[in-house]
Structure formats: C-alpha cells, structure tokens
Amino acid sequence: MLTIMMYHYVRDLPRTRFPQIRGLSTDRFEGQLEYLTKHYALCSPEDLTAAVRGEGVLPPNACLLTFDDGLSDHYTTVFPRLAERRIAALFCPVVRPIRERVVLDVHMIHFVLASGRDPRRLVDEALDLVDAHRTTLPLPDRETLYRICVAPSRFDPPEVSFLKSLLQRVLPAAVRTEICRALFQRYVTVDVASFAGELYMDLPQLCSLARHGMTIAGHGNAHDWLESLGPAEQLEEIQQTMALLAAIIGRRPTGWIMSYPYGSYSRHTLDLLEQAGCRVGLTTKVGLVTDLATPLELCRLDTNDLPCAGDAPINEWTKRVLDSAEGTAVHASRA
C-alpha cells in the first residue's frame, strides 16, 4: 500500500499578505511531518520509479510527498524542513511561470478569493465581465452558466465552487484568462510580473532542489486541462514540460514523473506520455495506491485529509477520508 500526499500552498499564513489563502500553515505542516515519520515509511520518488520498473519493492506502509505548482513556499518553507529530516520528495513546477514570470489563472483566482471581497459580489462581477464578451462570442446565458458551473466540492462553499468552475473550466480559455486578469488586477495587484516572481520558484531554485536529492516532475506548460486539448496541443504541453526538466537535470529526462494539472488527462495523454518516456502519472483522484499495475494513473490524498500529530489514529482517518470521497473522481480538490 502506498499513500501519496499532495500539497499546494505551505506557508506561515497569519504572517503573509493573504492570510485567507487556502493553504496549509507551517505549524500544521510540521505536525504532519511528525505524524508521517511516525506512522509511515517515507519513500523517495526514485523508490517509486524503481518499484514501477520492477527493480525494488516498496515497504507496506510507504508514503511519498508531492508538491504541485512550483510555489516559492516549497523552496523557503518545505525544502529546509524536508532536508532536516532527510526526506526526498517530489516537486512539480509548471513551465510558463518559470520561463515567463506569469501568474497562472488558477492562482489568480485563489488570490482574488483571498482578497477579502465577498464571493457573492465576485460572482456578479465575473458575470458582468462575461457579458462584455457576448458581442464577440456565443457564450451561454447566465441561467445556463449557473446550472453548468455548479460542481459539488469537498472544500468550497457554492459561490467559490461556481467561480472556480466558471474561471477554470467552463468559459473559453481566452475569456477565462482575461477575466481572471481583470479581477486579479482589481483586487490583488497590477504588477503581475513582480507577484509571479514572489509566488513561484525560479530555475536556479529548482536546480538547487534537484542537486539536494529532490526530484522534479512535470506539471504541464500552462497548467491546462490536458483532456480538453487537441493532440497537437497535448504534445506541445509534454514537449515543453520535458524541456524544463532537461534544463533542470542537464539531460533528456527518462523514466520521469508527470503530475496532471487539475488531475486531467485522457487515453491519448497516457499514450503520449508513454512514448515520451514518462513512467509515473499522478492524478487528483482520492485514494490509496494498492498496486502499481497502472502507474500512469496513481491516486493521491490531499494534505487536508491528513491529521496532525496527536489527531485521530491512522486507520480511523484513512477510512473517514475514503468514505467521504467515495466514488468521486475529485478534480484538483484544492485547486
């Protein structure tokens, strides 16, 4: 049995400019590390890829830590705490923020939501911005948008879930990006490049992680829904992802790992990845890995599903998590 943990923001929340960002506090992260080292055999990404190749066996209570999105938090807060405990983990940066210093739509939404603006007002404002595009594009009317953007969420209230669905998935990509940017500039900052510089790791930091025994995985070029892209676009995503990995490790990646943005992929994605030498794929489907028969479709647990030291005993919480997520292919539970 392998437990793969998925992390996003890990930061000293009360002391940041956006204490409402939906992340894990440094204290809770330390508590989780204490808990994990006590109850699990922490394995490295290399251990996992070796097991997939049939060159090793994971211990029965193996656990792997994974950190999505290439956030600076992972360098400043996570890395020293892992290094101190000699834990080798997996870091999954997105290409464009590193190459172009842009803020991804998915993160713009998070910070707009953390700005303190009432989410009901944000829904109205987002819909007004949608209206501005109606003259040039055939977009669904408001009633239809209300209907199709309502997605049940384990973590978010309805307005937040509506906004994420509208601005992460339902609207055409160009419209989504423009609306995210408008709201971000209105409520967070107009200086997007500086914000990106603070939010994401840069190439030297990623190289430093790799030099210190951490593994870098792919997480796409633009953090897009791979299953919604055409074959050529998917290929481009994978090629850009591999180019970044090559820049970090100094050679063409082989036997590498892909973490699917939003947990989204199709049969075609899996074929392309196999051809590209990718050996392990991480989804956002909630669950424990019971075997490695389909290594490109491994499920994970969100950090928020894990107790701190002193919380419920391990069997109880695992059961609770799996019961609550039963039958749901949860897309990017925290995205």
Q: Which is nearer to Zn ion, 47 or 302 (CB)?
A: 302
Give whichever of 253 and 261 is closer to Zn ion, judged by the CB atom.
261
Closer residue to Zn ion, CB minimum distance, 93 or 253: 93
Q: Least distance (Å) from Zn ion to the CB of residue 91? A: 12
Pattern of binders to Zn ion over 195-234, x per CB under 5 A?
----------------------------------------
d(CA 99, CA 121): 34
Q: How far is the CB of 111 from Zn ion (least distance, A)?
A: 15
Q: Which residues pair with 11 in a beta bridge?
A: 25
Least separation in angstroms between CB 10 and Zn ion: 14
**For Zn ion, the closer CB: 70 or 307:** 70
Rounded to a whole number of angstroms, the minimum distance from the CB of residue 317 to Zn ion is 24
Cβ 104 to Zn ion shortest distance, Å: 8
Identity of the residue, 62 or 90, whose beta carbon is nearer to Zn ion in the bound complex: 90
- 251-270: contacts with Zn ion (CB under 5 A): 261
Interface positions, 43-72, toward Zn ion (CB under 5 A):
68-69
Contacts with Zn ion by CB under 5 A lie at 68-69, 261
